[in-house]
């Protein structure tokens, strides 16, 4: 059985050359050997394995937009529906979170207040106390974010797990699938690099990058979500 990282996009070339790409950051925070996880680059046309051969999957973030419904994204959504129907554990991050929501019957679009960027506080909701992935998380924790689109409507049957004043659907679960709008794989260096690279775009959106960079801080509790997911998969395989 394979554990896979579904690569839905890539970071900026200069940042990748310095710090690596999304799958490298995810593998680091999963806390497992790199060879334990196979990377499938769906954005470049790589085929996903049969659902029956998959023990679990993490979906990366992406500069793409779910609402553009690119062919590779639509095909991935079809696979995700089959994976959830077969109770394969999934964890979607940012774009992956939004793609899961859209694939399972929710809706995704541009946030009416513009982007959410930098390090923000996320509140864990009461339902998380009974959740296999979020139980025991701090009531509030800092998390790295950078997104223009959001999950505006959760899929039928979804359980909201985390939120803040800007983003009511920061984390949810549907069956065997979890989505997190925040980036558990981003460390401070990655978040700082993103804010620097996107400074003109953020400025145009009314969010100067300078103050956002000054407010950066470590996000260990958010990062722990990936280790918790890896632990969940080990428990299911035992």
Which of 94, 97, 147, 170 does the annotation list as catalytic?
94
Contact by Cβ (8 Å): 22, 28: no
Residues 6+ apart with CB under 8 A from 21: 7, 10, 11
Assess contact for 62 and 21: CB atoms under 8 A: no
Which of 29, 116, 167, 185 is catalytic? The answer is: 185
Q: Do residues 117 and 157 lie in contact, with contact meaning Cβ atoms separated by under 8 Å?
A: no
Q: 54 an active-site residue?
A: no
Look up 147 and say whether it is catalytic: no
Q: Are the C-beta atoms of residues 201 and 114 closer than 8 Å to each other? A: no
Distance CA 230, CA 25 (A): 14
Concerning whether 111 is annotated as a catalytic residue, the answer is no
Write down the residue that tokens 């998969």 correspond to. 233
Residues involved in catalysis: 94, 183, 185
């Amino acid at each position: 059985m394979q554990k896979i990282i579904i690569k839905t996009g890539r970071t900026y070339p200069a940042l990748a050359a310095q710090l690596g790409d999304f799958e490298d950051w995810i593998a680091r925070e999963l806390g497992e050997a790199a060879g334990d996880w196979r990377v499938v680059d769906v954005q470049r046309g790589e085929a996903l394995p049969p659902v029956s051969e998959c023990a679990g999957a993490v979906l990366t973030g992406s500069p793409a937009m779910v609402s553009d419904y690119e062919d590779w994204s639509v095909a991935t959504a079809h696979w995700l529906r089959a994976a959830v129907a077969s109770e394969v554990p999934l964890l979607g991050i940012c774009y992956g979170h939004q793609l899961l929501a859209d694939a399972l019957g929710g809706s995704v679009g541009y946030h009416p207040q513009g982007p959410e960027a930098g390090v923000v506080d996320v509140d864990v909701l009461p339902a998380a106390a009974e959740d296999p992935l979020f139980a025991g998380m701090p009531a509030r924790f800092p998390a790295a974010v950078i997104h223009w689109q959001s999950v505006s409507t959760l899929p039928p049957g979804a359980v909201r797990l985390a939120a803040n004043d800007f983003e009511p659907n920061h984390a949810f679960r549907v069956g065997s699938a979890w989505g997190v709008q925040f980036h558990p794989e981003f460390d401070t260096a990655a978040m700082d690099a993103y804010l620097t690279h996107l400074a003109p775009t953020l400025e145009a959106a009314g969010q100067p990058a300078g103050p956002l960079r000054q407010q950066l801080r470590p996000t260990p509790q958010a990062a722990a979500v990936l280790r918790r997911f890896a632990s969940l998969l080990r428990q299911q395989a035992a």
